[in-house]
Structure 1
Amino acid sequence: MIKAFAVESGRLRPVDDLLQHKDEVVWADLLAPSKAEEALIEAWVGVGIPTREEMEEIEISSRLYVENGALFMTATLPAQTDSDEPLMSPVTFALAGNRLITVRYHEPRAFQTFPMRSEKVATGCVDGQTILMGLLEAIVDRLADVLERVGRDIDALSQDIFQSAETKAFKRDRNFQRVLQTIGRKEGLASDIRDSLMTLQRLSGFLGNAFVQDKNSKDLRARVKVLTRDVMSLTDHVSFLSQKITFLLDATLGMINIEQNGIIKIFSVAAVVFLPPTLVASIYGMNFDVMPELNWAFGYPMALGLMVISAVLPFWYFKRRGWL
């Protein structure tokens, strides 16, 4: 599918037929294009469109390059970021003169919000370069929103770990299982955002050098510098969130160990408390002929009292030492 846009009074205007308005169109957005659509765009701009396999290559030379005077830049962007399992896929931005071509196989939110906003409000879009800058800024803003949500979720997770209201052990165990699953999802999301920001950082550096060499306007070069600083600040922030997630993981495992140690301590104390009564019962269970207590009238109550005292004394000693 091809979405074509022309510029009118600083706003984007959708174009139904690319061929009929090929001189007016400045942005062609290709979503999962067919071979025929790729051939149409190649004939329009005069440069080859990378295939999906070429877009997925990880070496920088295959993602950032110049061909026939056109700039090709590929970044990995997330889609479905409202969930903790985003869809990661590469997106290629091709800048051929004053025309922008984007090639993608998923639906990042910025590709929906940026055209809608640019249709209603004059965002300064006059050519492919300004559209590219506006689109990249919308992408970075969206990633910032996702990181803000992740930060709020991590804060709520921290309260669940350190301020749990559950008093029953089996409920706490279920909570810890849920916490571990949530931590795993948040770490996966943060890792995906970090990978996306790394590709955007390389893209902004490549684009900045290209704008300097082509002697573009100072405004565009300044916007690239601001974009690069924003990406770097978000990269630092996602690194902080990853460290916090790692801390919460260690804290959760520590809380689980404390719970397990508490259970083992209960069994250990029970074993120690019942050991002396067992000893007393074992002594009076021996079958010897000469045992004076067997003939006493109060022999049985005495044995029971001795067992109770031998159980209470260790328990009292443990409580006094603060071991319980």
Structure 2
Amino acid sequence: MIKAFVVDNDRLRLADDLVANGDQVVWADLLNPTKEEETTIETWLGVAIPTREEMEEIEISSRLYIEDGAYFMTATLPAQTEIDDPLMSPVTFVLAGPRLVTIRYHEPKAFKTFPLRAEKVATGCTTGNTILIGLLEAIVDRLADILERAGRDIETISRDIFEARSTKVNKRNRDFQELLKAIGRKEDIASSIRDSLISLQRLTGFLAHVATQIKMSKDVRARIKTVSRDVLSLADHATFLSQKISFLLDATLGMISIKQNAIIKIFSVAAVIFLPPTLVASIYGMNFDVIPELKWELGYPFAIALMILSAILPFWYFRRRGWL
């Protein structure tokens, strides 16, 4: 699908047809393009656009390059960020003179919100380079929103870990299982956003060089620097969140270990407490003809009292030492 945009009163307007409005189109957005649509764009732009396989290559030289006077820039962007399993896919920006072409195979939210805003408000996006800067600003804002939401979710997880848990073993185990799953999902999001920000950081550095080379206006160059600084700060924040998630994972595993050790300690103490009474019962349960207490009238109460006392003394000792 091809969406073609023209400038109308300093606002972007969706054109009915790319071919009919070819001279006025400043931005062509390709979503899951067919071979025919790729051919149409290449004819209109005058340069060949990359295939999906070429977009997915990770080498810098395959993502940031100049060809036939056009500048090709590819970044990895997330989509479906409303859920905890975002779809990561590359998006290529082709800047050829006053025209911009974007090629994508998924729908990042910025590609929905930016055109709507540019149609309603005069944002100054009248050429390919200004539209590219506006798009990058919208993308960075969206990534910042995702990181803010992830940060709030991580704070909630942190409180759940360190607050008092349920005393019921089954309920407590289910709680820890859910926490581990939540931590894993947040780590996936943080890692995905960090990868996206790294690709954007490289893109903005390349774009800053392009801006100097083709002598873009001072305002555009200043906006590129601002976007670059924002991307750098968000990358640092994403790294911080990843480190915090690693700490929470270690803390959760530590809490699980503490709970398991407490259960094992209870069984160990119970075994030690019941060991002396078992020894006494074993002695008086031996089948020998001559046992001094066998004919004693108080032998049975004496044995019972001795077993109780032998159980109380270890319990008292453990309490005195603070082991219980």
Task: Classify the secondary structure of the residue corresponding to 2:205.
Answer: helix
* Secondary structure, counterpart of 1:62 in structure 2: helix
Q: Could you tell me how far apart the structure 2 residues matched to 1:4 and 1:257 are?
A: 59
What secondary structure does 2:289 align onto?
coil
Query: Which string of whole-angstrom CA distances, capped at 9 and with x for unpartnered residues, describes residues 52-80 of structure 1?
Result: 00000000000000011100000000000
SS at match of 2:126: coil
CA distance in 2, matches of 1:38, 1:228: 31
Q: Residues 55-70 of structure 1: matches in 2 within 5 Å? A: 55-70=55-70
User: Quick one: structure 1 residues 177 and 215, their matched pair in 2 at CA, closer, same or farther if it must change by over 3 Å?
Assistant: same
Match for residue 77 of structure 1?
Answer: 77
In structure 1, what is the equivalent of residue 153 of structure 2? 153
Structure 1 residue 141 displacement after superposition: 0.2
Structure 1 residue 310, shift from structure 2 partner: 0.4
Q: Percent same amino acid among aligned pairs?
A: 71
Q: Secondary structure at the residue paired with 1:293?
A: coil
Q: CA RMSD in A?
A: 0.7
Cα distance, 1:10 vs. partner? 1.7
Aligned-pair distance for 1:169? 2.4
1:239-258 → structure 2 map (5 Å cutoff) = 239-258=239-258
What are the equivalent positions in structure 2 for 1:200-211 lying under 5 Å apart? 200-211=200-211
1:292, CA displacement in angstroms?
Answer: 1.9
Paired letter, 2:320: R
1:101-250 matches, cutoff 5 A: 101-250=101-250
Tell me how far apart the structure 1 counterparts of residues 208 and 257 of structure 2 sit (CA, whole Å). Answer: 51
Q: Which residue of 2 aligns with 1:96?
A: 96
Aligned length: 324
CA shift, 1:164, in A, is 3.3
CA drift of 1:84 comes to: 1.1
Matched AA of 1:81: T
Other-structure match for 1:46:
46
| TM-score, length basis structure 1 | 0.99
- 1:19-66 alpha-carbon deviations (Å, 9 max, x no partner): 111111100000000000000000001000100000000000000000
Aligned residue identity for 2:292: P
Match of 2:283 in 1: 283
| Structure 1 CA distance for aligned equivalents of residues 308 and 62 of structure 2 | 81
Cα offset, 1:165, TM superposition: 4.3
Measured in 2, the distance between the counterparts of 1:74 and 1:242 equals: 24
Structure 2 letter corresponding to 1:129: N
Which runs of no fewer than 5 residues in structure 2 stay unpaired?
Answer: none
- 2:9 aligned with 1:9: yes
| 2:192 partner amino acid | D
Question: How many angstroms apart in 2 are the aligned matches of 1:35 and 1:305?
Answer: 93
Counterpart of 1:7 in structure 2: which amino acid? Answer: V
User: C-alpha distance in 2, partners of 1:316/1:277?
Assistant: 15
TM-score, normalised with respect to structure 2: 0.99
What amino acid maps onto 2:286 in structure 1?
A: M
Q: Which residue of 2 aligns with 1:316?
A: 316
In structure 2, distance between residues paired with 1:175 and 1:7: 55
Helix, strand or coil for the counterpart of 2:294?
helix
Question: Any stretches of 5+ residues in structure 1 without a counterpart?
Answer: none
SS of the equivalent of 2:125 reads coil
Structure 1 residue 83: deviation in Å?
A: 1.0
Question: Alignment partner of 1:81: what SS?
Answer: coil
Residue 174 of structure 1 aligns to a residue whose secondary structure is: helix
Amino acid corresponding to residue 144 of structure 1 in structure 2: A
SS in structure 2 at match of 1:118: helix
Structure 2: how far apart are the matches of 1:117 and 1:215?
27
